[in-house]
Amino acid sequence: MKHGRDFWKEHVNAWRRSKLSQRMYCEQKGLAKRTLGYWSCKLKRQKGGEGSLVEVSRTRLNHESVQPEAVSRPIELLVEGRYLLRLWPGTGKNHLSEVLAVLERQG
């Protein structure tokens, strides 16, 4: 069955209020995660949310454990085709976990 904008707007809003990941919300409601993600992006763009940023605290690099030539070159990671993360050498796994958790909630 094909659902329209109002149906998905209700589910996107309910998902955001739920504080669940998209995957968990969709499993509970029997929805396709890709479709919820699509509508989440589409509704955010229509609302003027495109280009909105999520603030994440800054991390100090541990330069002693990093090769000098590597300090100036980050690893780029594209997450779900929506977010480009630049990870500088020395970025801690806890910091990366925090960033990914924030992106998952923004969804």
Task: Kindly tell me the burial class for residue 96, based on how many C-beta atoms sit within 10 Å of its own C-beta (0-12, 13-18, 19 or more).
Answer: middle
pLDDT at 51: 46
Say if CB 55 and CB 98 are below 8 A apart. no
pLDDT digits 0-9 by tens, 79-93:
766 777 888 888 888
Q: Give mean pLDDT, residues 59-82.
A: 63
- pLDDT given at position 26: 93
Per-residue pLDDT, 10: 93
Mean pLDDT of 29-58: 71
Tokens of 93: 């796994």
pLDDT of residue 96: 81
